[in-house]
């Protein structure tokens, strides 16, 4: 998860969002490191709890910006956030039933970072940057 493009590439140019995104990636990397060091089983619950807390806070802020500035892709972006929360809840259920598998969760997160954080979020960031001037 330490691809070179995850540094500056993550930034949207909106300070309040970028600080959270940077901390999010640092925490995600810490989970990857811990998984490598300790094995997967004991981590799954921590990863799920952290993801839910991050998403609840961060998505709310992003969605607020999109609404305030009339972002035309708001509905589809919102659906991605909702899909993410549903997936995390499925992982949470799996954790409750069988302890979960942090490799699955972190694999999913790797895809999410590339597709959402570096894709649709940056698209949103470009729009917001234009309208925040």
Site of interaction with Fe ion (CB under 5 A): 62, 121
Toward Fe ion, which CB reaches closer, 62 or 92? 62
Structure tokens at 50: 């952290």
Say if CB 44 and CB 100 are below 8 A apart.
Answer: yes
Structure tokens at 69: 């500035």
Question: Torsion-angle region of residue 101: left (phi > 0), alpha (psi -120 to 50) or beta?
Answer: beta
The minimum distance between CB 105 and Fe ion, in angstroms, equals 18
Rg (alpha carbons) of the chain, rounded to whole number: 15
Toward Fe ion, which CB reaches closer, 95 or 109? 109
Toward Fe ion, which CB reaches closer, 60 or 90? 60
- Phi and psi dihedrals of 69, rounded to 5? -100, 15
Toward Fe ion, which CB reaches closer, 60 or 99? 60
């Amino acid at each position: 998860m330490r691809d070179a493009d995850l540094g500056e590439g993550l930034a949207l140019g909106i300070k309040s969002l970028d600080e959270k995104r940077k901390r999010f990636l640092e925490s995600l990397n810490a989970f990857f490191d811990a998984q490598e060091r300790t094995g997967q089983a004991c981590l799954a619950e921590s990863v799920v709890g952290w993801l839910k807390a991050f998403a609840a806070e961060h998505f709310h802020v992003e969605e607020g910006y999109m609404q305030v500035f009339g972002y035309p892709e708001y509905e589809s972006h919102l659906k991605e956030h909702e899909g993410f929360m549903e997936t995390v809840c499925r992982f949470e259920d799996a954790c409750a039933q069988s302890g979960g598998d942090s490799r699955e969760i972190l694999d999913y997160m790797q895809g999410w970072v590339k597709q959402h954080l570096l894709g649709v979020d940056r698209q949103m960031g470009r729009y917001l940057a234009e309208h925040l001037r």
